[in-house]
Amino acid sequence: MNEPFSPPVQSEPIAAIATPVGVGALAVVRMSGEGVFSITDRIFTKARSPETSLSESPGYTAHFGKLHDGDRMIDEVIVLVFRSPDSFTTEDIVEITCHGGPVVTKHVLKLLLDNGCRLAEPGEFTRRAFLNGRIDLLQAEAIGEMIHARSESAYRTAVNQMKGGLSGKLNGLREQLLQSCALLELELDFSEEDVEFQSREELSGQVDMLQKEVEKLVESYQHGRLLSEGVATAIIGKPNAGKSTLLNALLGEERAIVSHMPGTTRDYIEECFIYDKTMFRLTDTAGLRDAVEEIEHEGVRRSYEKIAEADLILYLMDIGASDYEQEVQAIAELRDKHPDIRLMVVANKTDTVDDSVRRAEGVAEQTGCMVLGISALKQEGLDVLKAEMNAMVEGLDKLHEASVLVTSMRHYEALRNAADALQNARELIDAQSETELIAFELRSALDYVGEITGKVVNEEVLNVIFGQFCIGK
């Protein structure tokens, strides 16, 4: 839970359109900061009790009336009042719900700017919520992740983080680090008296426990990344195996150009599709062969890069090709080169070969891989393929509601640095090193954990995080 906070000093008033620009039934334009009620009083007339000002209205109330620019009516609107500190930013907030449409919202926003507001910067409302203690930095990032979530799993993970799941875990670790750091600082203050406020055996055990907890969070990043970014799935194989046709079939649209000419795909194409709550990031790569042209050679090089980065590889082979037995050896070599990557062989063009089942069984026997027969062109076997793809990453989207996962590279790197600092501290304790050296490593771990939640604020990091938000959020 966040600590109680006093009503903040109101910042200059900002305004922005909070809903997507376009034609719609309704749109929302919001203001936050000093004097937003006075600004609204100048441009808004309530339908009921027009003689009373909005400044006198209690929080969490809605008012219907007309928005006007002098004698010219702009729109009939509903105005919502949120009073400090009980608002998203903890400042006074006014939200104006007007009729949807780019022209209407443009007039409303201009009216607010003409009457004393400044146009909000990207993410400035959420940034003020963070700076005013309403949320921590983790929760602020979770809001952005929830907005951009493209799968049910990513959404649920973001909601858990916004509720403070990871924040609570990190705050607990931070409190224990603070306690150890404080005791070591006391020892330094009384260094001439040669006293220990915490035995080195007890300190070593505590650091060991903290290191294990941090490393668990570091390890959770692999699952968290798959949930938030999707399962990186590379479709690879020789030219003309049907990779682009398969990509189009899985997406249900003509995304990639299909041609009988080998080498058509010069660069990779990346698109996403969702199956049973799991998001897959499909990559259609250039065909694997000895390229003749420089551009095609670069495409093949990038294909191998995508193979190395993939969580799941779909090796597509033409089961009817005369040299398919040579390809079996290439598949076996690929499996040996990337033993930790999930690899599935997809035997394509089964509709063109009578003994496709026998051939597919032979490939499975020689490579040790799962082999599925499909016809990408006729879209046969795709349902089974999707189900098996999902089975290979099963469990990632079935996490308990209370599961704590790291989904951000920023969090991952900070935690990894904290784990390294704790490891250094433990080695120093075991070596009976000076208290100053041990304290330095524990303070470093404390700072790394604090960077994640925003206890240690870096202005450059804040600009990057909130710069990714849309204006109005």
Q: Express each pLDDT in 222-251 by its tens digit.
A: 888 887 788 888 888 887 788 888 888 888
- For residue 400, pLDDT over 60 is answered with no
Find all residues with CB under 8 Å of 203, minimum gap 6, and list them.
180, 183, 429, 438
Lowest mean pLDDT among 143-157, 242-256, 271-285, 344-358: 242-256
CB-hemisphere CA count at 13 Å for 274?
13
- CA–CA separation, 72 vs 76, rounded Å? 12
Query: Cβ–Cβ contacts within 10 Å for residue 183, how many?
Result: 17
Interval 73-97 mean pLDDT: 96
CATH classification code of 229-392: 3.40.50.300
Q: Where does the pLDDT of residue 261 fall: very low under 50, low under 70, confident under 90, or very high at 90 and above?
A: very low
Interval 50-56 mean pLDDT: 84
Cα–Cα distance list, 244 to 51, 247, 390 (Å): 67, 5, 20
At residue 428, the pLDDT reads 93
Q: Where does the pLDDT of residue 28 fall: very low under 50, low under 70, confident under 90, or very high at 90 and above?
A: very high
At residue 55, the pLDDT reads 86
Q: Where does the pLDDT of residue 434 fall: very low under 50, low under 70, confident under 90, or very high at 90 and above?
A: confident
Q: If you ran DSSP here, which 8-state letter would residue 29 be given?
A: E
Cα–Cα distance list, 161 to 23, 143, 175, 366 (Å): 33, 9, 19, 45
CATH classification code of 147-224+404-456: 1.20.120.430
- CA–CA separation, 138 vs 223, rounded Å? 18
Ranges in the chain annotated CATH 3.30.1360.120:
14-136
**CATH class of the domain defined by 14-136:** alpha beta
Ranges in the chain annotated CATH 1.20.120.430:
147-224+404-456
- CA–CA separation, 157 vs 345, rounded Å? 31
Cα–Cα distance list, 265 to 34, 297, 300, 312 (Å): 56, 11, 9, 20
Compute φ and ψ for 39, nearest 5 degrees. Answer: -60, -45
At residue 196, the pLDDT reads 60
Interval 208-228 mean pLDDT: 88
Ranges in the chain annotated CATH 3.40.50.300:
229-392
